Structure 1
Amino acid sequence: MTSHTVLYSHGRFYSAADPRATAMLVRDGRIAWLGASAEAPAADVVVDLGGALVTPAFVDAHVHATDTGLAADGLDLSGVRSAPELLAAVAAFAGTRGPDAVVHGHGWDESTWADQVPPDAAELERVAGGRRVYLSQASVHSALVSSSLLAACPGIEAVPGYDASGWVREQAHHAVRAVALGSLTPAQRAAAQRSALRLAASRGVAAVHECAGPGTSSEQDFASVLALSGQGLPRVFGYWGELGGALRARELGAVGAAGDLYADGALGSRTASVRSAYADGDGCGEAFVSAEQAGEHLLECVEAGVQGGFHAIGDAAIEAVLEGFARAAKVIGVDRLRAGRHRIEHVELADKAMIARLVEFGVVASVQPVFDALWGGPDRMYAQRLGVERALASNPIGAMYATGVTLAFGSDSPVTPLDPWAAVVAAAAPRNPVFRMSVRAAFGASTRGGWRAVGVDDAGVLAPGAQATFAVWETPGGVEGGLPALLPGVEGEVPARPVCRRTVLSGETIYEE
Structure 2
Amino acid sequence: MTSPSAQPSVRYTNGRFYSAAEPRATAMLVRDGAIAWLGDTADVPAADRTVDLAGALVTPAFVDAHLHATDTGLAADGLDLSGVRSAGELLDAVAAFAATRPADGVVHGHGWDESTWTEQTPPAAAELDRAAAGRKVYLSQASVHSALASSALLPAAEGTDGYHPSGWVREQAHHAVRAVALGALTPEQRTAAQRTALSRAAAMGIAAVHECGGPGTSSEDDFRSVLALSAQGLPQVFGFWGELGGAERARELGAHGAAGDLYADGALGSRTASLRAPYHDGDHGHGEAFLTAEQAAAHILDCVRAGFQSGFHAIGDAAITTVLEGFALAAKQVGVDTLREGHHRIEHVELIDKAMIARLVEFGVIASVQPVFDALWGGTDRMYAQRLGVERALASNPIGAMHATGVALAFGSDSPVTALDPWSIVVAATAPRNPAYRMKVRAAFAAASRGGWRAAAVDRVGVLAPGASATFAAWETPGGLSEGLPALLPDIDGVVPARPVCRRTVLHGETIFENN
**Aligning the two structures, in what range does the TM-score lie when normalised by the shorter sequence?**
over 0.9
Question: Where does residue 93 of structure 1 map in the other structure?
Answer: 97
2:142 paired with 1:142 = no
Q: CA distance change for structure 1 residues 3 and 223 in 2, over 3 Å: closer, same or farther?
A: closer
SS in 1 for 2:46: coil
Question: Where does residue 125 of structure 1 map in the other structure?
Answer: 129
State the 1:449 CA deviation. Answer: 0.3
Q: What is the one-letter code of the residue matched to 1:268?
A: G
- Measured in 2, the distance between the counterparts of 1:281 and 1:201 equals 43
**Map 1:269-308 → 2, pairs under 5 A:** 269-282=270-283, 283-308=285-310
- Superposition TM-score, scaled by structure 1 size: 0.99
Question: Where does residue 13 of structure 2 map in the other structure?
Answer: 9
Extract structure 1 runs of 4+ deviating beyond 6 A: none
2:23 paired with 1:22 = no
State the 1:2 CA deviation. Answer: 7.5
Question: Where does residue 188 of structure 2 map in the other structure?
Answer: 187
SS in 2 for 1:308: strand
Question: Where does residue 233 of structure 1 map in the other structure?
Answer: 234
Q: CA distance change for structure 1 residues 2 and 428 in 2, over 3 Å: closer, same or farther?
A: closer
- Measured in 1, the distance between the counterparts of 2:459 and 2:275 equals 35
Q: What is the one-letter code of the residue matched to 2:125?
A: A
Structure 1: where are the runs of 5+ without partners?
none
The answer to whether the Cα contact below 8 Å between 2:19 and 2:464 also exists between their aligned partners in 1 is yes
- Measured in 1, the distance between the counterparts of 2:326 and 2:375 equals 31
State the 1:115 CA deviation. Answer: 0.7
- Measured in 2, the distance between the counterparts of 1:402 and 1:98 equals 53
Q: What is the one-letter code of the residue matched to 2:176?
A: A
Q: Among residues 80, 83, 88, which one is paired with 2:84 in the alignment?
A: 80
State the 1:445 CA deviation. Answer: 0.1
Question: Where does residue 383 of structure 2 map in the other structure?
Answer: 381
State the 1:3 CA deviation. Answer: 6.5
- Measured in 1, the distance between the counterparts of 2:280 and 2:7 equals 63
Question: Where does residue 119 of structure 2 map in the other structure?
Answer: 115
- Measured in 2, the distance between the counterparts of 1:3 and 1:228 equals 20
The answer to whether the Cα contact below 8 Å between 2:240 and 2:260 also exists between their aligned partners in 1 is yes
SS in 2 for 1:358: helix
Question: Where does residue 479 of structure 1 map in the other structure?
Answer: 481
State the 1:281 CA deviation. Answer: 2.7
SS in 2 for 1:147: coil
Q: Among residues 61, 65, 72, which one is paired with 2:69 in the alignment?
A: 65
Q: What is the one-letter code of the residue matched to 1:74?
A: G
Q: What is the one-letter code of the residue matched to 2:222?
A: D
% of aligned pairs identical?
A: 78
Question: Where does residue 407 of structure 1 map in the other structure?
Answer: 409
Q: 1:107-149: per-residue Cα shift (whole Å, max 9, x none)?
A: 0000001111100000000110100000000000000011111
2:317 paired with 1:322 = no
Q: 1:283-313: per-residue Cα shift (whole Å, max 9, x none)?
A: 0000001111101100000111110000000
Q: 1:331-389: per-residue Cα shift (whole Å, max 9, x none)?
A: 00000011001000000000000000000000000000000000000000000000000
Q: What is the one-letter code of the residue matched to 1:491?
A: D
State the 1:29 CA deviation. Answer: 0.3
- Measured in 2, the distance between the counterparts of 1:490 and 1:53 equals 24
Q: What is the one-letter code of the residue matched to 1:405?
A: V
Q: CA distance change for structure 1 residues 269 and 2 in 2, over 3 Å: closer, same or farther?
A: closer
State the 1:4 CA deviation. Answer: 2.5
Q: 1:144-190: per-residue Cα shift (whole Å, max 9, x none)?
A: 01111113x1xx32111000100000100000000000000000000
Structure 2: where are the runs of 5+ without partners?
none
- Measured in 1, the distance between the counterparts of 2:470 and 2:127 equals 53
Question: Where does residue 50 of structure 1 map in the other structure?
Answer: 54
Number of corresponding residues: 510
Q: CA distance change for structure 1 residues 2 and 357 in 2, over 3 Å: closer, same or farther?
A: closer
The answer to whether the Cα contact below 8 Å between 2:7 and 2:33 also exists between their aligned partners in 1 is no
Query: What is the root-mean-square deviation of aligned Cα atoms in Å?
Result: 0.8
The answer to whether the Cα contact below 8 Å between 2:56 and 2:474 also exists between their aligned partners in 1 is yes
- Measured in 2, the distance between the counterparts of 1:399 and 1:212 equals 29
2:375 paired with 1:368 = no
SS in 2 for 1:33: strand
- Measured in 2, the distance between the counterparts of 1:180 and 1:489 equals 46
Q: What is the one-letter code of the residue matched to 1:344?
A: I
- Measured in 2, the distance between the counterparts of 1:88 and 1:509 equals 42
Question: Where does residue 444 of structure 1 map in the other structure?
Answer: 446
